[in-house]
Structure 1
Amino acid sequence: MNPRYVVETTKSPDQAVADLEASVKQHGYGVLHVYDLKATLASKGFDLPNACHILEVCNPKQAVAVLTADMGMNIALPCRISVYQDGGKTLIGMARPSALLASLSQAEELKAIAEQVEKDTIAIIEAAK
């Protein structure tokens, strides 16, 4: 299985971000922060030719479960969902939580949590695309 989950949308990056933020909330998650990578790099004097927004999203219940099982997994939190342009297309993507956590831990309780978070975040993306 591909460790990335990426879908194409016909929406503009800004509309996709807005719809993604709404979908995150509808699925019981929260948006902690939205990075506008293009704007941030421009403020540092670098031109990124394509839009790139990174949303940090979290479900507090799942985060506590992960950190209770293995505090070291804080390096994998929060989940990130990106909205970006590439090749003239607007894409929404993420690293699959199951692949990310599997690369960092073999704990069975984390595997189950990662699979549920992955199912949730895919539903979030599908509803927003």
Structure 2
Amino acid sequence: MPFKHQLTSLGLLVLRVAIGCLMLVHGLQKISNFETLKTQFPDPLGMGNQLSLMSAIGAEAGCSVLLILGLGTRLAAIPLAFTMMVAFFIVHAKDPWNVKELACAYLFIYITLILTGPGSFSLDHLWTKRKSSSPN
């Protein structure tokens, strides 16, 4: 593997693990406060407070673990990007920039991962490498 490709993959690994861990904290906070949040969580899409909370937890906790592992990376980044779009454009639409800035930053990182994929240091890469080297 060329050195430039290794550096790119290392950068994607650092990005995936860092952003995955940071967002995982948000999901774990929602899990630990589920009983309190289930009746007061924002319902921007009209699904109900509890289902909105569960959807956010699924993205923020579940998909973040997948990002960290580099497993189904592009697919895992889609619910995360959608959650951040809802947060940025709907939930915090009327808030000042400093309130919605974090959602915007996360959104662009997820879009980047959707476009680039996880890099070579990922379970996705191991899977495709193994799949392409197995006899058919």
Shorter-chain TM-score category?
0.3 to 0.5
Kindly indicate which of the two structures has a greater share of residues assigned to helix. 2
Between the two structures, name the one with larger relative contact order (CA 8 Å, sep ≥ 6). 1
Give TM-score, length-normalised by structure 1. Answer: 0.34
Could you say which structure has the larger radius of gyration?
2
Give TM-score, length-normalised by structure 2. Answer: 0.32
